[in-house]
Amino acid sequence: MEPTVLLLFVLVLSIFLGIELISKVPSTLHTPLMSGANAISGITIVGAILSAGSSESFTYSVILGTTAVFFATINVVGGYLVTNRMLTMFKKK
């Protein structure tokens, strides 16, 4: 089997699995799960930085790596802000 076909199969399978899993999560658990997802996005940022700064300097990998750094950073910052807002709701006034 060609690697491109295998990678496309994994991508499509992960999309369906992600949609199925997210649709089953109740809204009360969404914010705590986002905190865990921030840790995964932090790992993604490290991998994307390594990809963007690759010594082989393929233009395609540098562009994809830079885009991945951008979107993972947005995800981490947004998740932090939502988690921070959730935690302030539980503080005594």
pLDDT in tens, 51-66: 887 766 677 878 888 8
Residue 93 lies in a domain: yes
Output the six-digit token pair for 13: 């399978």
> Can you give the residue range of the structural domain that contains 66?
35-93
Least confident range from 40-49, 66-75, 84-93: namely: 84-93
Residue 13 lies in a domain: no
* Chain centre distance of CA 27: 19
Residue 73 lies in a domain: yes
Residue 20 lies in a domain: no
What 3-state class would DSSP assign to 12?
helix
Residue 75 lies in a domain: yes
Q: Is the pLDDT of residue 70 over 80?
A: yes
Number of structural domains found in the chain? 1
Question: Which has more pLDDT, 49 or 92?
Answer: 49
Residue 65 lies in a domain: yes
Residues 6 or more apart in contact with residue 64 via CB below 8 angstroms: 51
Phi and psi torsions of 23, nearest 5°:
-70, -20
Q: How many residues belong to the chain?
A: 93
